[in-house]
Amino acid sequence: MSLPEKAFPVSWDQFHRDARALAWRLASERTKWRGIACITRGGLVPAAIIARELDLRLIDTVCIASYHEYSTQGQLSVIKELGAPLTDNDGEGVLIVDDLTDTGQTAAIVRAMIPKAHFATVYAKPKGRALVDTFITEVSQDTWIFFPWDLGFTFQKPISDENEKR
């Protein structure tokens, strides 16, 4: 995989802080949340943090494969749909949780399943932003977010070294 021009590496500590910040925003909503619809795999970690912070026990997964080889978004494939009781009442009172909305294609599929649910992501890009109700950080569309579960510890060249090559 070639590295993107704009990279946004996120540490475990930063991701945990951002996910807790998302939980704080969701806690201030006037809605009594009844459960979480977690989009796998990226939504698993923030869903666990949000479930703990909001004391939610009802969690289901919707499994959609979209990224292939971590570089491009391929054809979307729904591997597992949501079940009752989260789908009851079109998902009213349900949180949809994901790590990121990028193009909005995955978000659109899940929104169609439970149209009255509240969509929350830790990070949002402009193309998917309109489908998200609550998020913490917006990044540009051409930025690739490196999540902590995708990273190892290696030396990173200073930005100034990269700019000298241009």
DSSP 32-92: ---EEEEEETTTHHHHHHHHHHHT---EEEEEEEEEETTTEEEEEEEEE---TTTTGGGGT
Residue 90 falls in the annotated catalytic set: no
Provide the pLDDT for residue 30: 75
- 7: part of which helix (H) or strand (E)? strand 6-9
Q: Could you give the 3-state DSSP secondary structure of residue 19?
A: helix
Checking if the pLDDT of 74 tops 90, the result is no
Catalytic residue among 18, 88, 90, 98: 98
- Mind listing the pLDDT tens digit for each residue in 89-120? 999 999 999 999 999 999 999 999 999 999 99
Q: Which residue has the higher pLDDT, 48 or 7?
A: 48
Q: Where are the chain's structural domains?
A: 31-151
Inter-residue contact 144 to 7 (CB < 8 Å): yes
Provide the pLDDT for residue 151: 82
Q: What is the mean pLDDT of residues 135-160?
A: 87
Which pTM does this prediction carry?
0.85
Provide the pLDDT for residue 84: 95
Residues flagged as binding site:
41-42, 98-106, 144-145
Provide the pLDDT for residue 136: 98
- Mind listing the pLDDT tens digit for each residue in 44-64? 999 999 999 999 999 999 999
Residue 13 falls in the annotated catalytic set: no
Provide the pLDDT for residue 160: 78
Residue 142 falls in the annotated catalytic set: no
- Mind listing the pLDDT tens digit for each residue in 12-42? 999 999 999 999 999 998 789 999 999 999 9
The CATH code of domain 31-151 reads: 3.40.50.2020
